[in-house]
Structure 1
Amino acid sequence: MGVEIERKFLVCGDNWKALGQGVLLRQGYLSSSPERTVRVRIEGESAMLTIKGKSSGATRNEWEYPVPLSDAEAFLDTLCERPIIEKKRYRIPFEGMVWEVDEFFGENAGLVVAEIELTAENQSFAKPDWIAEEVTHDARYFNSSLIRNPYSTW
């Protein structure tokens, strides 16, 4: 079992776009319950099935398994809750850490968030100048929440 410790922030401006190459991601949820999520994600030519437990602070249990691309496409096309999350992810190194910036499309267009994975909840880290308000504990920004309440409806 893995453990994910992640903090999430809104992003201001667009200077960050010049700092990394974006990759298109498509993901859907077989289960989007707050107690557990089961996600299918396609990134490029690879696919993963991810199971996450309920968050406790910025921490939650996480398991990831590779799945055949054709199976992931079938899950997204036929089994996953709607809408499917489509976004471009930029991985941007900054002062020894990597920020993952997600630019959303479709029903979540206009939303841009940055996440940083930590080894401990109290770990200190530097924030680039394009990092704005922290939304780690705001469930509206969970990807699994964006399928029930897309950003375009806020």
Structure 2
Amino acid sequence: MAKEIERKFRVTSDEWRSKVDSSSSFLQAYVASAEDRSVRVRIMDGQKARLTIKIGKNLRSRDEFEYDIPLADAQELASAAVGIVLEKIRHKVEHQGYVWEVDVYGGSYDGLVVAEVEMEDEGAQPDLPGWIGPEVTGDRRYSNMVMATEDLSEELLNGL
């Protein structure tokens, strides 16, 4: 069993763009969701696919299981998505020994930019880059599952 420990933040400037190490486009669809668990399929760059199961109510630390699946299976699962299929480009940026994943959303959430950093344990305190804004780790509105199953685009894009 893998444990995902991460913190999530709004991004306040484009300063990170000059530091990007790699980028990948994602389509992310939720096949099933409940208050404390989700099953999602992610299609990366239109070429690879992964099925992910997350369990746990704590948005900072959850159990996570990921499996590569055939692209055709992922496309079929995505067509049966619950709610909105999320579109985003994920950029990886290294800062002070941590890899930050900066998600630039398209589609329904076009213009939203959020960064997350995965940590080895809950006590880790990564140095925050200057382009990081308010922390939204515990704010359920920034959970991709919630964004997909409840249309919060107007609220999140207008900073409410």
**TM class by smaller structure:** over 0.9
Question: What is the aligned partner in structure 1 of residue 138 from structure 2?
Answer: 137
CA distance in 2, matches of 1:35, 1:151: 19
The answer for unaligned runs of 5 or more in structure 2 is 156-160
The count of aligned residue pairs is 153
Correspondence for 1:5: 5
Aligned to 1:70: 72
Partners in 2 of 1:74 and 1:47 — Cα distance?
11
Residues 5 and 61, structure 2, Cα contact 8 Å, conserved in 1: yes
Indicate the residue corresponding to 1:14 in structure 2. Answer: 14
| Matches of 1:14 and 1:5, distance apart in 2 | 25
SS of 1:132's equivalent in the other structure is strand
Q: Which residue of 2 aligns with 1:109?
A: 110
Of all paired residues, the percent bearing the same amino acid is: 40
Q: How far has the Cα of 1:118 moved from its partner? A: 0.6
Q: Aligned partners of 1:138, 1:149: CA distance in 2, in Å?
A: 14
2:151 paired residue number: 150
2:37, 2:54 within 8 Å by CA — same for their partners in 1? yes
What one-letter code is carried by the residue in structure 2 that aligns with 1:5?
I
State the Cα distance separating 1:122 from its structure 2 match: 1.1
Which sections of structure 1, spanning at least 5 residues, go unmatched?
Answer: none
CA distance in 2, matches of 1:140, 1:57: 11
Q: Runs (4+) of structure 1 moved beyond 6 Å?
A: none
**Greater alpha carbon shift after TM alignment, 62-71 vs 21-30:** 21-30
| Matched letter for residue 19 of structure 2 | L
Q: What's the TM-score once normalised by structure 2's chain length?
A: 0.91
